[in-house]
């Protein structure tokens, strides 16, 4: 806009200079007349451009920003199995899709992906009952925000998660299959938090989780979406960061300051990521009959806690000391000498032993990312490490995911 405006002013000035230079006989009245006409058209131009800006900015606000709800309100309601009451606006579907796999900074997305390989593709399946779309299957194009119809047929109302594991396995080998399942969990968590925030509910069916070289594409998950008659209410804690803002601000942060973090912040991240904040229920979906992921923490620089290994009791939402000692160097080496582990104030490790556990670890990991934003902390998902070395430190459970945690360095 500024460039066009400058060109317009340049044309006006050039016209007036030519008028004065080549037409000396032109009187002052004529020049004033030309100035008046130019001023009139300049005012018209400015009004048009301001109107366009208002429309564009309103559209952007409608697609991304709204007042409430908070991240922890959404987590609490998800644990309760009920959505918040919300009057759907014109941008609600665009907002949900942005939460699930929207593009930030022209490239990076709202959920993390190993090496930015992005094996996940999201589709909307519409029967025209909830979505304002004709019957069909639509692919979401992340960085443009567009929906492209890929089929005129559909048999349910909701979302499909398709994966192309080859995008990730090409770089990470067989371990890349786990990274793909982790990413499915990250995206499912954001989807269900977004549904809760929009007054909708869903049921998930994990379809294909065993990947191999013989098939390029899989349907990993199907989520049926429905309206409900009952809504979540009664959340009375301090609201904190808005859910939409937490999703938009989520980053993989690898560099931390030397400043200690508080034990309260660490415990809040764990509590709101995988604690039973409602009796028997955690703030994410149960993918099997029981929850399959447990968490422990290596404490390096946390006010109020001695250095050592702590186990997180999800039911009581407490940290239980397992062994004392400084394990920073050992875990740094076990994590392939990734500096984020060495610089962190604490390192959260998730454990499990099944394919469902790998998806669940992704859901918990997404909560860790979002709650780190809420606490003013930074983290990054790490899937590459020596499992045997972690077993020596933490015990017999299979490590799935590692999250260093600390104050972001300025």
Tell me the percentage of the chain whose pLDDT exceeds 90: 79
CB burial of 295-313 (b: ≥16 within 10 Å; e: otherwise) equals bbbbbbbbeebeebbbbbe
DSSP 290: S
The predicted pLDDT at position 50 comes to 36
Residue 98 pLDDT level (bands cut at 50, 70, 90): very high
Q: Does residue 63 have a pLDDT over 90?
A: no
Residue 21: per-residue pLDDT = 46
Q: Is the pLDDT of residue 38 over 80?
A: no
Q: What percent of the chain is predicted at pLDDT more than 70?
A: 84
Q: Which residue has the higher pLDDT, 12 or 69?
A: 69
- Output the pLDDT for position 100: 98
pLDDT at 3: 37
Residue 248's φ and ψ, nearest 5 degrees, are -70, -30
- Please state the φ and ψ torsions of residue 241, each to the nearest 5 degrees: -70, 140
Q: How do residues 281-317 score in pLDDT, each as one tens digit?
A: 999 999 999 999 999 999 999 999 999 999 999 999 9
- CB–CB of 377/224 below 8 Å? no
Is 213 strand, coil or helix? coil
**Confidence (pLDDT) at 248:** 95
d(CA 399, CA 157): 36
Strand, helix or coil at 268?
Answer: helix
The pLDDT assigned to 290 comes to: 95
- Least confident interval from 14-28, 191-205, 370-384: 14-28
What is the reported pLDDT for 64? 57
Q: How sure is the predictor about 224, in pLDDT bands with cuts at 50, 70 and 90? A: very high
What per-residue confidence (pLDDT) applies to 161?
Answer: 99
Instruction: Report whether 346 contacts 300 (CB < 8 A).
Output: yes
Interval 159-176 mean pLDDT: 98
**Residues 49-71, mean pLDDT to the nearest whole number:** 52
pLDDT for 36 equals 56
Question: Over the chain, what is the mean pLDDT?
Answer: 88
Q: How confident is the model at residue 69 (pLDDT cuts 50, 70, 90)?
A: very high
**pLDDT-based confidence at 28, cuts 50/70/90?**
very low
- Check pLDDT > 60 for residue 181: yes
Place 396 in a pLDDT band, splitting at 50, 70 and 90. confident
What is the rounded average pLDDT of the residues 144-165?
A: 97
- pTM to 2 decimal places: 0.85
Res 43 pLDDT > 90: no
SS3 of residue 89 by DSSP: coil
pLDDT, average across residues 256-267: 98
Of residues 200 and 108, more confidence is placed in: 200
209 token code pair: 């989780």
Res 96 pLDDT > 90:
yes
């Amino acid at each position: 806009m500024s460039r066009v405006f400058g060109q317009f002013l340049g044309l006006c000035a050039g016209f007036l200079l030519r008028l004065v230079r080549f037409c000396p006989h032109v009187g002052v009245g004529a020049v004033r007349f030309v100035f008046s006409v130019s001023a009139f058209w300049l005012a018209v131009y400015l009004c048009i451009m301001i109107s366009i800006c208002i429309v564009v900015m309103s559209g952007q606000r409608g697609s991304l920003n709204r007042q409430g709800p908070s991240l922890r309100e959404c987590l609490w309601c998800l644990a309760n199995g009920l959505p918040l009451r919300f009057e759907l606006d014109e941008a609600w579907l665009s907002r949900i899709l942005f939460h699930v796999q929207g593009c930030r900074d022209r490239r990076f997305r709202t959920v993390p992906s190993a090496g930015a390989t992005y094996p996940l593709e999201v589709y909307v399946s519409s029967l025209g009952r909830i979505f304002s779309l004709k019957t069909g299957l639509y692919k979401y194009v992340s960085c443009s925000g567009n929906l492209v119809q890929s089929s005129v047929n559909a048999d349910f109302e909701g979302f499909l998660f398709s994966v192309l594991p080859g995008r990730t396995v090409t770089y990470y080998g067989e371990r890349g299959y786990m990274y793909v399942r982790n990413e499915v969990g990250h995206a499912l968590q954001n989807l269900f938090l977004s549904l809760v925030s929009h007054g909708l509910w869903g049921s998930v069916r994990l379809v294909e989780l065993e990947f191999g070289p013989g098939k390029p594409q899989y349907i990993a998950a199907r989520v049926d979406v429905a309206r409900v008659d009952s809504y979540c209410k009664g959340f009375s804690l301090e609201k904190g960061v808005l859910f939409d803002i937490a999703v938009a601000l989520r980053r993989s942060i690898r560099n931390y300051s030397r400043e200690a973090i508080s034990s309260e912040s660490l415990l809040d991240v764990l509590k709101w990521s995988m604690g039973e904040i409602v009796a028997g229920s955690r703030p994410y979906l149960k993918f099997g009959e029981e929850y399959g992921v447990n968490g422990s923490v290596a404490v390096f620089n946390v006010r109020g806690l001695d250095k050592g290994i702590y186990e997180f009791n999800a039911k009581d939402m407490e940290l239980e000391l397992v062994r004392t000692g400084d394990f920073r160097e050992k875990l740094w080496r076990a994590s392939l000498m990734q500096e984020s582990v060495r610089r962190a104030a604490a390192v959260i490790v998730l454990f499990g032993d099944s394919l469902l556990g790998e998806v669940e670890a992704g859901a918990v990991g997404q909560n860790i990312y979002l709650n780190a934003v809420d606490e003013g902390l930074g983290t990054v998902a790490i899937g590459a490490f020596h499992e045997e070395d972690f077993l020596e430190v933490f015990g017999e459970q299979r490590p799935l995911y590692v999250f260093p945690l600390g104050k972001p360095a300025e």
